Every structure is written in C-alpha cells, then in structure tokens.
Structure 1
Amino acid sequence: MSRRGNTHTYSIRRLQSLLGVSRRVVIALVEAGFVDPERGRRNEMRFSFRDVVLLRTAYKLQNAKIPTRKILRSLAAISDEMPAGEVSLAGLRISAVGNEVAVGSGPARWVADSRQMLLDFGSAPVAADVSFLGRRARVEMDRASLADEWYERAERLREEDFTAAEQAYRKAIELSPAPHYSAYTNLGVHLCEDEGRCADALAVFDAALRLFPDDTRLLFNRGVALEQLHENEAAALSYERCLAIDPEYIDAHFNLARLKQLRGDEQGVLRHLSAYRRLGGI
C-alpha cells in the first residue's frame, strides 16, 4: 500500500518510539496490511516516512473504533489521490466521525472512501482527530534517522574501538528527538565492561531511569554497576525494585541471592535461589 517516495528509512525500534506504541502493536499494524515495509540487509523491517505517517493515522483511527477494513479502504483512497512520490501529505486532516473516516483540507471535509462531502454544523463529535505530520515532525524524523545511524555505528564499533563506540552512543542520545532507550541501555553496559568506568555507567543508567522509571532491564543493569562499585546495599535495592515490577526476572533473583549470602541472610538466599530454580535456573 505504501509508496517509496523517499530514501529515509526507520527501524522498528525507532518507529515504536515515534508512534509511542509497543513492538507488538507495530507488528499487528503491519500484519493488518496498512504498510508493506522493505527489508534491510539482515532481513529486518525498514519503514519509510510515508509508512510512519500511515501507521500513525491507522493507529489513531483504530483507537477510535473504526474497523480495520474501513481504515484500509479509506487510506487506500487517500493514497491513490496523492501525486506519485508525494510523501508529506501535509495539510490534510484525517479524523473519525462516527463510523466514518473523514478527510479535511481547508474548510472542506469529506468521507475518505466515498468522497461524500460532510457538513460541519460545529457540534458534531469528532473522535481521535489525526493531523498528518508537518515540517517540524519531519525534521524530528530526520533527526531520528540520523540518531539510529549513530546507534548502529556504535553497535558495530563495540568490539574494536571502545572510545569511538561510546562517542557514537552519546551522539545517538543527543540527536534523538525522543529518548533513545537502546542507546542509553547499551552505552551503560558498554561502560560497565571497563571497571574504571562503572561510575560513568551508573550515571547513564540513572539518567535513563528518569526517562524510563519502571524499566526492569535498566534497574538490573544499575544493580550490576553498583556491585562493581562495591555498593552492595544499593545494588540489592535496585534488584529488589526490579523484582517488585517483574517477579520473574530470573537474573535478579540469582544476583540478589548472592548478595543475601554475603550478608549472611540464609532465608533470603533460600527464597531467591528457589525462585531462580523455579524459573529455569540451574
């Protein structure tokens, strides 16, 4: 359904960030047929700017209880009327009016799939109004794409150039218009690989947790960094917070059992080792 009118592509991770939805939701939208993403060198899905616009609109219309079949038919009708290669669709307003998908341009408004004009009496309820992204959002997406390039560069550099990889992760964080979860997480882990940089890693995890306060992976990695700094009490608290959110986080149980053993807390050791084994640990 989507047309490849531009060369900018976005990873599924960046698309999640831009749309503010989970990976599961993105996959469901793709499987519903709203877009047909291209495949990258490693067979990963790559999305165009137009894909982002269409998926954002489809997601909002779904939330307004418009049936998937009607959304598909309406977006196809809108897409077919755009000039070849058109990407931005700026100036169009897409909204759910009752059970219909309405399109607005200037003062005019019509039903997307039938072209029937709608009269605006000033009192009709409009659910989930969706404006297509304009220039400002497009600039943000260009920055997001550039941030992803720096992140992917950091991933490639991790094994061969520690300093260059760190700089690339930080550049991805700096450029990303939305908090770049993976760049924060992997930068912290990267810094932890150098025992002399564990304090720096802790600072990264703390900054990330201000943005993602209930993320168990960040809490676990923060505990690891604190252990390497010999701050075992603080590390145990971080693991416990992780388990309060996800009681089945197996590695947190193992590390906490070890810390409980250092404190001589045999009941704590037994409790967390039992949970570790119940969840599949050896």
Structure 2
Amino acid sequence: MRELQSMLGVSRSVVMGLITAGFVTPARGPRNAYRFAFQDVVLLRTALILREANIPPRKIVSALSRLREELPDDLPLTGMRVSAVGSEVAVRTGPAQWNALTGQLLLDFEVAEIRGDVVFLDSKPARKNVANQADEWYELAEQLLASDPGGAEHAYRRAIALSPQPFYAAYVDLGALLCEMEARCKDALHVLDEALAHFPEDSVLHFNRAVALEELGRLREAEASYVRCLELNPSYADAHHNLAILLEKRGDSQGLVRHLNAYRRLTV
C-alpha cells in the first residue's frame, strides 16, 4: 500500500476510496496486507487521471466498471487508451473509438497514437518528471517479478523508454528476466545488445549475453562473450566457472582446467 501511494502520489484514504468504489480487488498477503497486481495499478492510475480531468466520480466508476465487464479476460486496460473528452470517458482500442458508458462510437475527436502496451492520459509527461517516472516503473517491475513476469517485463521496458539516460539496472534485470522465461533468450539477447551499445565495457552485461548465447546453442559466440567478460573483470568467478564447463563441452581440457582452477581460487 505504501509503495502504491508513493507511486501514484496520493494518500491512503484516496487509494482506499478507489478500492471501496470497486475499481480493483487487490489480493491479500501476510498479515492481511494489500497486494496490488500490475492491472490494479493501471486501473487505479486511470481513475486518478480521469478524476484530475474533472470527470464526475460516479461517471468514472460506471465507465470503468462497464469497461472491465465488457473486455475479454486477456485485455483489461492493456493495449488501449482511456481519456477524457469533455465530460465523457472515451476509449480507443486499435482504430475503434467509443464512449465507455454508452458504447457509442466516437468519430470526431483526436486520440494520440498509442505508444507501448499501456498508455495513460499523461503519456507525454513534463520533462522534469520523466526521470521520476522511469524510477517508478523500475520499482514496479521489481515488485512484480515474482507474481507477474509479463507485467514486470512491461514495466522494465517503460522504465528504459522513459529514462532520460540509459537505464543500466533496468537493462540488466530485463535481460535476466527474459532469459529465465522459456523461449525468450533471443529477446534477452536483443535487450543485452542494446544495453552494450550504451555500456560496452560492462562485465555483467557481457556475462549475461554469454549465458543467453549458450542457451541458444551459439557456443562460439558465448565463449567470446565470457572471454570479454573476464578481460574486463578477471575476478568474475561465475564467468570462469561457466567458461570452464563450456570449454569441456568443446573438448578443450586445458581451458577447462585453467578456468576451473581460477574459479576455485576465487571462491575458496
């Protein structure tokens, strides 16, 4: 609850009011504490944005309740834009634009192009707030790692996109997350290559890249990435260990012994 209040910039009473109004039904954790999923955050923030646009609270509740009921389970408020048009709540899904309360198609208002999977009314924040928003998305990703890997991935990508400077921690964590997901190592490799364009001398990125390449069966490239990692940080014990095992697979017994001994020296 405290983390959500900080993220949304509102008091506990405001969040509780939104819960009571039925916008979200958070789960309960240890000691009956609230646990908010990624979609809960989307719904709550959307409600706050509509309220800031002077949409009457009753209309917000009705519009989002109807919206939630009519959407399929795999598309709550993701992949759409919810905004205020005058005193109405408007929704865009793909090319369709419609009134969230009546279902009537709306044809004559401008809707900003959707950028990414989740788009809020404030999708073009003031420059001075961009860094803070990137940090908030990163913190959200960290919270979602265990319960909602897909939501965590989205949040990491938003942090990277919003950060005014290359977001090292978000790149590292997103790459690791994708490599842990089944059949996502190619995506992880893409993220790590993008990160290395910004941080070419970082040993952790080269190590993670080697792991992704090894998972993809690209052993020669993986070996080169492990070697580069150790050139940058000769004390990287896990790189010595992984490279030793990789060289054993390739029949290089001398390399196996050399790197395994280095691993043992570093971990004793």
Q: Normalising by structure 1, what TM-score?
A: 0.50
Residue in 2 that maps onto 1:169 = 156
AA partner of residue 251 (structure 2): G
Q: Secondary structure of the equivalent of 1:174?
A: helix
Q: Which runs of 4+ in 1 moved over 2 A?
A: none
Residue in 2 that maps onto 1:225 = 212
Instruction: Map residues 211-250 of structure 1 onto 2, 5 A cutoff.
Output: 211-250=198-237
AA partner of residue 256 (structure 1): L
CA distance in 1, matches of 2:224, 2:193: 14
AA partner of residue 187 (structure 1): L
AA partner of residue 242 (structure 1): C
Residue in 1 that maps onto 2:262 = 275
Residue in 2 that maps onto 1:255 = 242
Residue in 1 that maps onto 2:170 = 183
1:146 aligns with 2:133: yes
Q: For 1:69-93, what per-residue CA distance to the aligned partner results, in whole angstroms no more than 9, with x for missing partners?
A: xxxxxxxxxxxxxxxxxxxxxxxxx
Q: Secondary structure of the equivalent of 1:147?
A: helix
AA partner of residue 205 (structure 2): L
Instruction: Map residues 17-96 of structure 1 onto 2, 5 A cutoff.
Output: none
CA distance in 2, matches of 1:151, 1:140: 18
Q: For 1:157-211, what per-residue CA distance to the aligned partner results, in whole angstroms no more than 9, with x for missing partners?
A: 0111111111100000000000110111100101011121110000000000000
User: Which stretches in structure 2 are left out of the alignment for 5+ residues?
Assistant: 1-5, 8-125
1:204 aligns with 2:206: no
Residue in 1 that maps onto 2:181 = 194
Q: Secondary structure of the equivalent of 2:183?
A: helix
AA partner of residue 266 (structure 2): L
Q: Secondary structure of the equivalent of 1:253?
A: helix
CA apart distance, 1:273: 0.6
Q: For 1:30-54, what per-residue CA distance to the aligned partner results, in whole angstroms no more than 9, with x for missing partners?
A: xxxxxxxxxxxxxxxxxxxxxxxxx
CA apart distance, 1:140: 4.2
CA apart distance, 1:141: 4.3
CA distance in 1, matches of 2:128, 2:206: 29
Q: Secondary structure of the equivalent of 2:166?
A: coil
AA partner of residue 183 (structure 1): A
AA partner of residue 244 (structure 2): A
CA distance in 2, matches of 1:238, 1:141: 38
Contact kept? 1:195, 1:228, Cα under 8 Å: no
C-alpha root-mean-square deviation of aligned residues, in Å?
Answer: 1.8
Q: Secondary structure of the equivalent of 2:155?
A: helix
Q: For 1:209-247, what per-residue CA distance to the aligned partner results, in whole angstroms no more than 9, with x for missing partners?
A: 000001000000001111111111111100000001111
Higher relative contact order (CA 8 A, sep 6+): 1
Residue in 2 that maps onto 1:109 = none
Q: Secondary structure of the equivalent of 1:279?
A: helix
User: Which stretches in structure 1 are left out of the alignment for 5+ residues?
Assistant: 1-6, 9-138
Length, aligned pairs only: 146
